[in-house]
């Protein structure tokens, strides 16, 4: 099949989190299954592409009542074609965090069909990821001025994180996309434009990145206002667990590590532990907890901060790498300064240090309030670093409590401290700890399994009727939008 992915991030070109890991690996796994895969991605100022994409010209994109010109770049990597959408609004220091983010990514989404057409690529299925690309299903169903072959193409929307939704004015969402004005209301959520909601209402299938998160998305606390939209999807919402790029994350061949190792010989891990402790100025004779995380409310780092007295009391050191919320950054800096030989790390984004933490720590703390899948715990397990994690979303689906890691139920510091205490006891039992390390390293979450699961979904979609009417026949469901006379 010809598959088109639209994403705001993909390794190695741009990354702020696991979305980039997924789009750096899934398309290649699909190409390995024989598919012809195109990934469309913004052309950011700081695109990590060496050599840079080949610029092949400009295309006009219908947008906001007129046309906007975008540049098109292209390159091939890992058997996958990439197309980059160039526009001045992507020439900024950071990927996100600007007041016009919704507009910028609505333009990206609107550009995707035109850019694919410029490459003479008409897909069988369009697969959009997260809010940045979520308006594409609505465009394929309802927008004017699509290139030949794109109108009505089957669409899949994968929700990697439902907290980020792309809020805007309802009128803007339809104006930007050059969608029928009558859709402003049905696509909106509580009267506000919401790009993720627009995608949920119009995609043929919605997937998310673990089965447990798919179930949790029916709860208001996890769905952030989208719980009814998820519930209305019924069987059209599916959880497909992410994989891990086992070649990109391999402790036996990771050049960032002080020494390599594998499950058969963990001596190199001791070298990594000593080197990391030295690098961060930590007492090397203590067991070491690691954290590699965005510092966002989702990640529960405040629980860890509250549990720091217990961490110290239990005898752990802590190596933390993360950036994000300034209040959390400041609280961590204070803690580091108060216990320089026990707590250390760096506020920032650092791929090398992340790998040294995965390699050198004994356990990785992942106290997430919610976690759609989580890549950090998968990387940690591959590096023989046992996750101590909250039993939610993909953490629950990937960690086997007491065998490959340690889970705790409630998002509260005492529960985290108790799980750390359990881990600490096992850590003192060398053989048991080693047994868990070996089990964690053997738990292979490869991408081939997920690629096959997406295959089944696509085939079903291409073969059958794409939408099944919702039980309630609600006026805002995807099928009902189809019947909108304005479309």
Q: Are strands 288-295 and 363-366 parallel, antiparallel or unpaired?
A: parallel
Nearest to 159 by CA among 189, 187, 195, 134: 134
Nearer to ligand GLC, 111 or 209 (CB): 209
Q: Quick check: 293 binds ligand ADP (CB under 6 A)?
A: yes
Positions 206 through 225 that interact with ligand GLC (CB under 6 A): 209
The minimum distance between CB 324 and ligand ADP, in angstroms, equals: 8
Stretch binding ligand ADP (CB under 6 A), from 27-35, 113-121, 278-286, 367-375: 367-375
Q: Which CA distances in Å does 338 have to 140, 141, 404?
A: 56, 57, 33
From residue 313 to residue 352, what is the string marking binding to ligand ADP with x (rule CB under 6 A)? Answer: --------xxx-------------------------xxx-
| d(C-alpha 350, C-alpha 362), whole Å | 20
Positions 234 through 263 that interact with ligand GLC (CB under 6 A): 242
Tell which one of 24, 374, 387, 477 touches ligand ADP (CB under 6 A): 374
Nearer to ligand ADP, 9 or 362 (CB): 9
The minimum distance between CB 397 and ligand GLC, in angstroms, equals: 11
Alpha helices in 443-477 (DSSP H): 447-463
The minimum distance between CB 353 and ligand ADP, in angstroms, equals: 7
Tell which one of 1, 2, 17, 287 touches ligand ADP (CB under 6 A): 17
E runs forming strands in 7-114: 36-42, 54-63, 66-77, 80-86
Q: Quick check: 18 binds ligand GLC (CB under 6 A)?
A: yes
Nearer to ligand ADP, 350 or 412 (CB): 350
Question: What value does the CA radius of gyration of the chain take, rounded to a whole number of Å?
Answer: 23
| d(C-alpha 408, C-alpha 39), whole Å | 38
Burial class (CB in 10 A: 0-12, 13-18, 19+), 350: middle
Looking at beta carbons, which residue is closest to ligand ADP? 18
Q: Quick check: 354 binds ligand ADP (CB under 6 A)?
A: yes
Q: How many residues contact ligand ADP, by CB under 6 A?
A: 19
The minimum distance between CB 105 and ligand ADP, in angstroms, equals: 17
**DSSP three-state, residue 167:** strand
Q: Are strands 192-194 and 167-169 parallel, antiparallel or unpaired?
A: antiparallel
Looking at beta carbons, which residue is closest to ligand GLC? 18
| d(C-alpha 253, C-alpha 196), whole Å | 39
Q: Quick check: 160 binds ligand GLC (CB under 6 A)?
A: yes
* Other Cβ atoms closer than 10 A to 42: 27
Could you report how far apart the first and last alpha carbons of the chain are, in Å? 28
Structural tokens at position 348: 């920032």
- Residue 354, binding choice from ligand GLC, ligand ADP, none, Cβ under 5 to 8 Å by partner class: ligand ADP
Task: Give, as one character, the DSSP assignment of residue 324.
Answer: E
Q: Which CA distances in Å does 224 have to 177, 196, 227, 242, 477?
A: 24, 11, 7, 22, 19
Positions 18 through 37 that interact with ligand ADP (CB under 6 A): 18-19, 21
The minimum distance between CB 281 and ligand GLC, in angstroms, equals: 31
Q: Quick check: 376 binds ligand ADP (CB under 6 A)?
A: yes
Nearer to ligand GLC, 161 or 194 (CB): 161
The minimum distance between CB 63 and ligand ADP, in angstroms, equals: 29
The minimum distance between CB 351 and ligand ADP, in angstroms, equals: 5
Contact 309, 298 (CB under 8 A): no
The binding site for ligand GLC (CB under 6 A) comprises 17-19, 22, 160-161, 209, 242, 371-375, 394
């Amino acid at each position: 099949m010809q598959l088109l992915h639209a994403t705001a991030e993909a390794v190695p070109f741009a990354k702020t989190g696991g979305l980039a890991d997924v789009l750096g690996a899934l398309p290649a796994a699909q190409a390995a299954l024989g598919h012809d895969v195109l990934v469309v991605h913004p052309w950011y100022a700081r695109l990590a592409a060496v050599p840079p994409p080949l610029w092949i010209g400009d295309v006009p994109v219908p947008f906001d009542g007129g046309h906007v010109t975008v540049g098109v770049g292209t390159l091939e990597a890992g058997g996958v074609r990439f197309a980059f959408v160039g526009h001045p609004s992507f020439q900024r220091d950071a990927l996100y965090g600007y007041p016009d983010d919704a507009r910028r990514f609505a333009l990206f989404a609107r550009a995707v069909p035109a850019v694919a057409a410029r490459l003479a690529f008409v897909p069988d299925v369009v697969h959009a990821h997260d809010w940045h690309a979520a308006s594409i299903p609505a465009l394929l169903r309802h927008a004017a001025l699509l290139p030949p072959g794109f109108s009505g193409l089957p669409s899949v929307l994968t929700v990697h994180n439902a907290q980020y939704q792309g809020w805007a004015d309802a009128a803007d969402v339809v104006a930007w996309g050059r969608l029928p004005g009558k859709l402003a209301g049905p696509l909106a959520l509580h009267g506000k434009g919401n790009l993720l909601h627009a995608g949920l209402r119009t995609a043929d299938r919605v997937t998310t990145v673990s089965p447990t998160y798919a179930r949790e998305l029916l709860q208001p606390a996890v769905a952030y206002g989208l719980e009814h939209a998820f519930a209305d999807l019924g069987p059209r919402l599916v959880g497909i667990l992410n994989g891990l790029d086992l070649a990109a994350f391999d402790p036996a061949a990771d050049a960032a590590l002080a020494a390599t190792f594998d499950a058969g010989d963990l001596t190199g891990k001791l070298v990594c532990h000593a080197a990391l402790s030295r690098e961060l100025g930590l007492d090397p004779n203590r067991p070491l907890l690691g954290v590699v995380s965005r510092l966002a409310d989702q990640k529960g780092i405040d629980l860890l901060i509250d549990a720091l007295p217990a961490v110290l009391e239990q005898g752990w050191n802590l190596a933390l790498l993360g950036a994000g919320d300034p209040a959390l950054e400041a609280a961590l800096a204070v803690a580091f300064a108060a216990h320089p030989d026990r707590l250390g790390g760096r506020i920032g984004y650092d791929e090398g240090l992340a790998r040294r933490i995965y390699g050198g720590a004994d356990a990785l703390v992942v106290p997430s309030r919610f976690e759609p899948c989580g890549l950090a715990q998968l990387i940690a397990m591959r590096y023989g670093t046992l996750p101590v994690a909250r039993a939610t979303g993909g953490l629950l689906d990937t960690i086997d409590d007491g065998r490959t890691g340690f889970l705790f139920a409630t998002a509260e510091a005492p529960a985290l401290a108790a799980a750390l205490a359990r881990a600490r006891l096992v850590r003192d039992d060398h053989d048991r700890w080693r047994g868990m390390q070996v089990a964690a390293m053997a738990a292979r979450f490869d991408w081939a399994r997920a690629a096959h699961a997406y295959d089944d979904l696509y085939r079903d979609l291409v073969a059958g009727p794409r939408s099944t009417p919702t039980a309630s026949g609600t006026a805002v469901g995807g099928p009902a939008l189809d019947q909108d006379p304005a479309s």
